[in-house]
Chain A
Amino acid sequence: MPAGTHDVFVALGLAVAGLVFAAEVRRRGRHDERLWYLVAGVLVGGALFGRLGTWLQHLDLRQNATLAEQWAYGNRSILSGLAGAYLGVLVAKRLSGYRARSGDLFAPAIAAGMAVGRIGCLLTERPGTPTGAGWGITVDGVPRHPSFAYEIAFHLLALAVLILARDRITQPDALFTGYLAGYAVFRFAVEFVRGNEVVAAGLTRPQLFLLACAPLLAWRLLVLARQHRAGLPQEVPV
Chain B
Amino acid sequence: MRPPPQPIRTGAVWAGIGLAVLGHLMCAGLVAAALWGAGDAADQALIGGSLLGQLVLFAAVVTAGTVLIVKGDRGLGIGLFIGWAAGLIVLPLVGFGLCVALVSAQ
Contact = CB atoms under 8 A, between A and B. Distances in A.
Interface of A: 3-4, 6-7, 10-11, 14, 33, 36-37, 39-40, 43-44, 46-48, 50-51, 68, 71-72
Given A10-B90, A51-B88, A72-B50, 18 more contacts: A3-B97, A3-B100, A4-B94, A11-B90, A36-B8, A36-B13, A36-B78, A39-B78, A43-B89, A44-B84, A44-B85, A46-B89, A47-B89, A48-B88, A68-B51, A71-B54, A72-B47, A72-B51
A40 B90 contact: no
Contact of A36 (B75, B86, B88, B90): B75
A29 B96 CA distance: 41
11 contacts: A7-B94, A11-B90, A14-B90, A39-B78, A40-B81, A40-B82, A44-B81, A44-B84, A51-B88, A68-B51, A71-B51
Contact of B78 (A4, A7, A40, A50): A40
Contact of B85 (A4, A36, A47): A47
Interface residues of B, number: 23
Nearest to A81: B89
A50 B89 CA distance: 8
A47 B88 CA distance: 6
Main secondary structure of the interface of A (DSSP, over half): helix
Contacts of A48: 85, 88
B38 interface: no
A201 B62 CA distance: 42
